[in-house]
Amino acid sequence: MEQFRLPKIAMPPLALPRSVEAVLAEAENKLAHRPKLARLFRNCYPNTLDTTTKLMDDGTTFIITGDIPAMWLRDSVEQVIHYVPLAREDADLQRIIGGLIKRHVRCILIDPYANAFNETANDWHWDAADQTEMSPWVWERKFELDSICFSMKLAYAYWKETGLTDIFNSEFKLAMNRILQLWRTEQRHEALSPYRFTRDNGIPEDSIRNDGLGMPVNYTGMIWSGFRPSDDACDFHYNIPSNMFAAVTLSRMREMAQWVFRDLELEASLRKLEEEIRHGIQLYGIYRHPQLGPIYAYETDGFGNYCLMDDAGTPGLLSIPYIGYTGADDPIYQRTRAFALSQENPFYYEGKAARGIGSPHTPPGYVWHMALSMQGITALTAEEKLAMIATLERTDADTGYMHEGFLADDPSVYTRSWFAWSNSLFSQLVYGAMKEGIL
């Protein structure tokens, strides 16, 4: 299952920041009664720093996704997001996270359509034959609306947690304007966008139909996306969870424009786009399910066609509260959650060892550890959180780490033994449960 063109080389481990060491010590004490869970947390919580992080001489930070020697914007944020609450009094974490934000800004300015980048301009690519406008800095140029949202999420969370504003330089403001311009263009993709992407590898999910332009869409106010957070091509190109994330991101960018850059004109432009997206979601993104009632669709084309599913990747329907669009108790979300965690979702699987959400990105019958972690993080009850932790604990195939997907009947059959994002999301769930006092 693990097919990559370059050797898998871990970054040299960093000396763990003192605040991370303190969390590990806390977990050793609080999880002493559950030795296997304690081992999993001890391995997974620092995994990003142990294996994927490199401090660059220019003051930036480069973080590979794990078993691929490239940095995904989305993955690298989620690989460190569980460290942000520790950063206020930890200069080492400030260097790591602040440096990653600066690196993201440079990547966005190189190519706002790209989803993954190289450490240097080495001209490495996932597939050198991709038909799109490539750069030697770009590992892959799949336009995924959520990617840049994660970059802004990290900057906002870091600012709010630490109060530090050194990341908000002229490059950052230029990137904000570039994002606004990009998203305005992709509201009217067919008429305005220069973006095309095809990959001739025989895998339909890796290429955009209609000669790289995509299937027709109607104007809705939402933003077009070529690919899903799973890196699979969209069926209908308005991905609802990604547009929800974009709306939340625009709200955060408005705050930065107003209070950091004091640019009310930029703030007004961001506000207008946010309103258009939210209106589009409510008008075109809700499907009237015959049994459940109104639920959020996964994708739509604005012509009345819907893709009804959920995918294990974030953002997805299950993660709507996690990305900040609604609360977990929102009635439409709760109905959507019931849909996603049922056989109505074509990528929900039940087996002898586990049940949960998988993805068209992995074989049928594979449940993703990330989906189980997200189900726990967004659960309303302690009982469901603990049930997810127990499932994660028993499905690691005794490796001491989380994976991508595993066979619901047999967790020893899995994809991606080194997937740092999955380890970090698991760590968020377990540490949150520790803080709630339910472990």
Is 367 found in the same domain as 305? no
- CATH at 105: 1.50.10.10
- Please, are residues 362 and 415 in contact by the beta-carbon 8 Å criterion? yes
The model's pLDDT over 21-65, given as tens digits with 9 standing for 90+, comes to 999 999 999 999 999 999 999 999 999 999 999 999 999 999 999
Q: Are residues 313 and 409 in the same domain?
A: no
3 state DSSP class of 59: coil
Q: Is residue 69 part of a domain?
A: no
pLDDT, position 3 = 35
For residues 366 and 389, state if they share a domain: yes
Closest CA to 428 of 82, 43, 161: 82
Q: Tell how far CA 100 is from the center of its chain.
A: 15
Sequence letter at residue 306: Y
How many domains are there within the chain?
Answer: 2
186 and 304 assigned to the same domain: yes
Distance CA(205)–CA(56), nearest Å, equals 34
Identify the three-state secondary structure at position 306: strand
My answer on whether 243 and 124 are in the same domain is: yes
pLDDT digits (tens), the chain, 439 positions: 333 344 456 788 889 999 999 999 999 999 999 999 999 999 999 999 999 999 999 999 999 999 899 999 999 999 999 999 999 999 999 999 999 999 999 999 999 999 999 999 999 999 989 999 999 999 999 999 999 999 999 999 999 999 999 999 999 999 999 999 999 999 999 999 999 999 999 889 999 999 999 999 999 999 999 999 999 999 999 999 999 999 999 999 999 999 999 999 999 999 999 999 999 999 999 999 999 999 999 999 999 999 999 999 999 999 999 999 999 999 999 999 999 999 999 999 999 999 999 999 999 999 999 999 999 999 999 999 999 999 999 999 999 999 999 999 999 999 999 999 999 999 999 999 999 999 9
Mark whether 193 and 265 lie in a shared domain.
Answer: yes
- Strand duo 405-407 + 293-296: pairing: unpaired
Whole-number Å distance between alpha carbons of 298 and 332: 13
Query: What is the DSSP track for 201-253?
Result: SS-GGGS-TTTTT-S-----SS---SB-TTSPBPSSSEEHHHHHHHHHHHHHH
Residues 205 and 165 in one domain: yes
| 206 and 315 both lie in a single domain | yes
> Domain boundary residue among 291, 317, 342?
342
- Among residues 342, 374, 396, the one where a domain terminates is 342
Q: How many CB atoms lie within 10 A of CB 400?
A: 14
Query: Does residue 18 lie within any of the structural domains?
Result: no
In a domain, 244, yes or no: yes
Q: Does 48 reside within a domain?
A: no
User: Distances in Å between the alpha carbon of 257 and those of 203, 229, 235, 278?
Assistant: 42, 27, 34, 20
Residue 20 falls within a domain, yes or no? no
Residues 223 and 360 reside in one and the same domain: no
Query: At 179, is the secondary structure helix, strand, or coil?
Result: helix
Q: Is residue 109 part of a domain?
A: yes
Residue 240: give the domain boundaries. Answer: 100-342
This prediction's pTM: 0.96
Flag whether 183 is in a domain: yes
Q: Indicate whether 365 belongs to any domain.
A: yes
Question: How far apart, in whole angstroms, are the C-alpha atoms of residue 183 and residue 289?
Answer: 30
Residues 209-245: tens digit of each pLDDT: 999 999 999 999 999 999 999 999 999 999 999 999 9
244 plus 371 within the same structural domain? no
366/338 same-domain check: no
Q: Which of 342, 360, 388 is the last residue of a domain?
A: 342
Amino acid at site 94: Q
Q: Looking at the structure, do residues 258 and 313 belong to the same domain, yes or no?
A: yes
